[in-house]
Copies of this chain bind each other. A is one copy, B any other.
Amino acid sequence: MQLPALPFLAWARHYNTSTAGRDALAAVIVTVMLIPQSLAYASLAGLPAQLGLYASIAPLLVYALLGTSRVLAVGPVAVVSLMTASAAGEVAAVGTPAYAQAALILALLSGGMLLVMGWFRLGFIANFLSHPVISGFITASAVLIAGGQMLVILGVRGGSQTLVDIALGLYRQADQISPWSAALGLGSLVLLIAARKGPGPLRVEAGVNARLAGILSKAGPVFVIALAALCTWHFGLDRRGVAIVGEVPGGLPPLSLPPFEPDVWRALLLPAFFLSLVGFVESVSVGQTLAARRRQRIEPDKELVALGAGNVAAAFSSGFPVTGGFARSVVNFDAGAETPAAGFFTAVGIALAVLFLTPALYYIPKATLAATIVVAVLSLVDWTILARTWRYAKYDWACALSTILGTLAAGVEAGLVTGIALSLLLVLYRTSRPHIAEVGLVPGTEHFRNRDRHAVRTDGRLLSLRVDESLYFANARALEDRINAQVAANPELKHLVLLCSAVNDIDSSALESLEAIDRRLAEAGITMHLSEVKGPVMDRLRQSDFLDHLHGQIFLSHYLAVKTLTPEVATRG
């Protein structure tokens, strides 16, 4: 089904009160979850708390109109907030107006890039982030985020761009650790973990409806935060070294204009690109997973436009970069959201909160918010990627490991660059040393397999080589070397047949090599043939004069080649 130009038209015309009811219920649950999360992610990004709420209004409205996922919950998320802090920290100091402006510029730039990628259907660019790189990156980012938030829990200043930053921060401020903050933060952490894992069986025993239990467990963090705020207020902990959220200005987000400063824009260009890429990949994979469960689909190129517009909206409404988050989307899905209207209702909920609820946020301890982040990101950590790739393919393991180490040691951008560059280089390296198998006929069939692995028939006068790679400049020489070596080892050789079933392309460099091989073999009295050349490759060869010069023939199938050149091998029996 082709979605209409404005995706909301696909669902808006069938919208009715029963759908609206389910969407509204889901929106209430997501709003309750989003309020503390948005405060926490704003502080992770190094920004004032209210910006988290601001970033959870306009982008959600825009995504509700343009998004193709029915249940994706857009807003501030952990990894993108960390990347924002990393990039903005390069051009300004935390707490300065320039820092908040850098966040606006980042949102505008990455929104613009996503829009351009969407309009030009460049969503495939995200495919160059391989699974090991993404997994490694998310895991390492989560470790950095958790480490940085542990500093906040201990009541010292954060700074979590690299593991070294975190260790140095802890070492230098060891004498400023606040025991009250630590107690409150660690206490919150224990309660949050318990709320997430422990009470399930208890509640089921108590006969509580499973779905209600699930919803209650999502609300757990809110109770923990309320409890911590109550303690802080009651015992006056804010006067004993416990940092609190403090005064949050009420009122809807003010309009904002990202300032145009060419140097800053240039410095933020690359970070914005990576931010777009990671945000898009995270969002699309969540969206696709959830859509598949309900046999719906999302359109990646339209998602680019929706996320891009959402970020542009954030840039003009005092927000910071946003994307579709994993945890909230799953909650939205589980709570029964049916259309993007749930996102619309969530935005309304946050708007009401920012209008009327901000005084209630005053006593929330930052250590408790940090604890909610730690719990949220720990679920992103997945070390099994190392074990799995080690078993399956060492080159994938190398990519995952180098992304993790690069991110932990040198920050998010360095980690991503390392991982992407290495994964691309390893693809080229692998294809530059192709697997070439000498094949023979599997008796009783017309099928040819590697003589080292199967019991097959061969003949000394005919050498059948199956080239297991497209031929291009990086492996053309390897092919020449291999054929030279094989031919030298077969003195009675009369025919070489290259089985091209796995050759998906032959570029001009490789064509020159093939011509050189054919010429040299002909001088040595050996004829070179090709078999099972694919249609697209054959079309290309016909454009050159290769076929005029080739001493041998092109056979439709390898069996036909063998039957023609050495009939006795092909005899069945």
Question: Who on chain B is nearest to A536 by CB?
Answer: B435
Q: Give per-residue flags for A447-477: 1 if the beta carbon is below 8 A from chain B beta carbons, else 0.
A: 1011011000000000000001110111111
Which of chain A's residues 472-491 have a Cβ closer than 8 Å to chain B? 472-478
Contact B131 A470 (CB under 8 A): no
Other than the given A392-B511, A396-B509, 9 more pairs (CB < 8 A) read: A130-B472, A130-B474, A132-B509, A292-B520, A391-B544, A392-B544, A450-B534, A453-B535, A502-B504
Contact A502 B505 (CB under 8 A): no
Contact B559 A507 (CB under 8 A): no
Which of chain A's residues 113-142 have a Cβ closer than 8 Å to chain B? 124, 127-132
Contact B473 A507 (CB under 8 A): no
Most buried by B among A292, A391, A468, A532: A468
Chain B residues, CB < 8 A from A502: 501-504, 534
Contact A395 B432 (CB under 8 A): no
Question: Who on chain B is nearest to A519 by CB?
Answer: B292
Chain B residues, CB < 8 A from A476: 127
Which of chain A's residues 508-547 have a Cβ closer than 8 Å to chain B? 508-509, 511-512, 520, 532, 534-536, 540, 543-544
Chain B residues, CB < 8 A from A428: 128, 424, 427-428
Contact B434 A504 (CB under 8 A): yes
- What separation, in Å, do the CA atoms of A301 and B501 have in the docked complex? 32
Q: Given known contacts A131-B509, A423-B473, A502-B504, is B392 in contact with A437 (CB within 8 Å)?
A: no
Q: Does A556 contact B (CB under 8 A)?
A: yes
Q: Does A388 contact B (CB under 8 A)?
A: yes
Which of chain A's residues 27-63 have a Cβ closer than 8 Å to chain B? none
CB distance from A532 to the nearest CB of B (A): 8
- What separation, in Å, do the CA atoms of A129 and B392 have in the docked complex? 31
Q: Given known contacts A437-B535, A535-B437, is B507 in contact with A393 (CB within 8 Å)?
A: yes
Q: Does A430 contact B (CB under 8 A)?
A: yes
Question: Who on chain B is nearest to A128 by CB?
Answer: B474
* 6 A–B contacts from the bound complex (CB under 8 Å): A393-B540, A427-B472, A447-B532, A450-B534, A468-B534, A469-B470
- What separation, in Å, do the CA atoms of A472 and B392 have in the docked complex? 13
Chain B residues, CB < 8 A from A566: none
Q: Does A18 contact B (CB under 8 A)?
A: no
Chain B residues, CB < 8 A from A501: 501-502
Q: Does A442 contact B (CB under 8 A)?
A: yes
Chain B residues, CB < 8 A from A470: 431, 469
Chain B residues, CB < 8 A from A247: none
Q: Does A209 contact B (CB under 8 A)?
A: no
CB distance from A285 to the nearest CB of B (A): 10
Contact A127 B473 (CB under 8 A): yes
Contact A508 B131 (CB under 8 A): yes
Contact A124 B432 (CB under 8 A): yes
Q: Given known contacts A446-B559, A476-B127, A540-B393, is B469 in contact with A504 (CB within 8 Å)?
A: yes
Q: Does A358 contact B (CB under 8 A)?
A: no
CB distance from A160 to the nearest CB of B (A): 28
Contact A442 B556 (CB under 8 A): yes
Contact B450 A535 (CB under 8 A): yes
Contact A129 B473 (CB under 8 A): yes
Chain B residues, CB < 8 A from A473: 127-131, 423
- What separation, in Å, do the CA atoms of A391 and B508 have in the docked complex? 10
Q: Does A178 contact B (CB under 8 A)?
A: no
CB distance from A44 to the nearest CB of B (A): 29
Contact B434 A540 (CB under 8 A): no
Q: Give per-residue flags for A529-573: 1 if the beta carbon is below 8 A from chain B beta carbons, else 0.
A: 000101110001001100000000000110110000000000000
CB distance from A106 to the nearest CB of B (A): 26
- What separation, in Å, do the CA atoms of A391 and B434 have in the docked complex? 27
Q: Does A19 contact B (CB under 8 A)?
A: no
Question: Who on chain B is nearest to A130 by CB?
Answer: B473
Chain B residues, CB < 8 A from A508: 130-132, 388-389, 392-393, 396
CB distance from A48 to the nearest CB of B (A): 39
